[in-house]
Amino acid sequence: MSDPTLWSTTRQSAAIAGRELGARELTQAVIDRIERLDGHVNAVITRDFEAALERATVADEEISAGRRRGPLHGVPITVKDALQTAGLRSTGGAVELRDSVPDVDAPVVQAVREAGANIIGKTNLPRWSGDIQSFNEMFGTTNNPWDLSRVPGGSSGGAAAAVAMGFTSFEIGTDIGGSIRFPASFNGIWGHKPSFGVVPSTGYLDHALGGTTEADVNVIGPLARSRDDLELLLGLLARARPPWIAQLPPAPLDLSDLRVAAWLDDDFCRVDSEVLQVTERVVDALEASGVAVDRTSRPDVDFAEAFELGLWLVGCAISQAGEDEGPGHRVWLDRHRRREEIRAAWAAWFEGVDAVIMPVGFVPPFPHSQEGNFYTRTLEANGEQRGYHEIVRWTILTGMAYLPATVPPLGTTDSGLPIGCQIVGPYGSDLTTIALAGHVGDLMGGYSPPPLALE
């Protein structure tokens, strides 16, 4: 791809550092792209273009003087509107924060800013990040750039659509029930949900007084256009909470030595045939590349119980956005104890398995569905109507256990819709899941821009 707005973050950064590409030149190109194409997608909902161009000019002057602030020096980016961004409207998609302009950055935003990134705008999301699609009453609906009649996923849907379209080379997503994983899968890009606790999650706006505490299950992680970007960005985001990154074990040098399992379907959450066909092709390609895959091994975890418990825990974690007080702390502690038993079962299984390939959701990107709510809507899979809330079964299964999960782009379904899988590993194995996802992405073709992005 010769258009630098569609390059990976690492390539953009290297081009700026080597004076192959000016920071202002790239920033102007990104702004032009947003102004030309975002009317179709509606991803970038708050814009700071004039000031961004001024900052880009300074970044070029610094490069000319031999000063580079960090590995993101001069790279123009957008930030999900759920993250506090100093001096820029940050709403969480909720009218209660319509005019909120924070004085300070969320730690993760501060981390990328200190690494040299130039924040040019904020991206759309559902109210309080609470859906698998991205719409709210202030900023309207974000469309999937591969098919404007379909959702880009949520809650980081505007973020992922912006990455896919070349409006930013990376984004910072949040994920409590799949909010990094669905948008990555639905937009044909890369995403990483870190192990819980590795990246700080303060500065996250999930209720009117949010930002000062960290919610259970929720994590913050990168959305990008390459495996190398994920690894770079995870290091930067985790650095905001030292010394975690030093404790993450490195990826194995020889991926063929990995013990990989495949859990592609389950009676508790049957997967649509279009999704299943793509993930089966992944397993076939892995095996052909020399990586052995066990298609039958499973952890000693009851899928239905883990999901119901995980959904309850997520409900507690987001309860401050609602009107109910939620359960007493003793009740939460009892449920948390059972969660720890489930985590121990995962850990025991992972003693013989390094990673497992799983679906993100049971359907590909679905048509916009804004009537009703999370529990009354339906989705169609294999010709049958299923409960909308079932979409998060596969993501909550792993999220409630605090496990890392990396989503590589796998190409498209037979109907031309992008799809990904989640590659899940034991707690703390983030760099291994990213490395294996990188191999899978290479086998399946990696990031390709949606046709709309090439117009």
- Judge whether 1 lies within some domain: no
> What local confidence, expressed as pLDDT, does residue 242 receive?
62
CA distance 373 to 389: 9
- Judge whether 160 lies within some domain: yes
What total number of domains does the chain contain? 1
* CB within 8 Å of 392: residues ≥ 6 apart: 132, 177, 178, 311, 361
> Hey, which residues are catalytic here?
80, 155, 179
15: left (phi over 0), alpha (psi -120 to 50) or beta: alpha
- Judge whether 47 lies within some domain: yes
Please report, for the domain that includes residue 101, its CATH number.
Answer: 3.90.1300.10
> What local confidence, expressed as pLDDT, does residue 150 receive?
98
**Cα torsion 384, 420, 300, 339: sign:** negative
- Give the distance from CA 56 to its chain's centroid: 27
Domain that holds residue 403: 6-454
Look at residues 153, 145, 142 and name the one whose alpha carbon lies nearest to residue 42: 142
- Please write the tens of the pLDDT for every residue from 335-368: 999 999 999 999 999 999 999 999 999 999 999 9
- Judge whether 107 lies within some domain: yes
> What local confidence, expressed as pLDDT, does residue 1 receive?
55
> What local confidence, expressed as pLDDT, does residue 325 receive?
78
Structure tokens at 339: 């969660």
- Judge whether 350 lies within some domain: yes
- Judge whether 10 lies within some domain: yes
- Please write the tens of the pLDDT for every residue from 51-109: 999 999 999 999 999 999 999 999 999 999 999 999 999 999 999 999 999 999 999 99
User: Which residues, given as ranges, of the chain have pLDDT below 50?
Assistant: none
- Judge whether 436 lies within some domain: yes
pTM score over 0.75: yes
Look at residues 359, 254, 342 and name the one whose alpha carbon lies nearest to residue 300: 342
- Judge whether 251 lies within some domain: yes
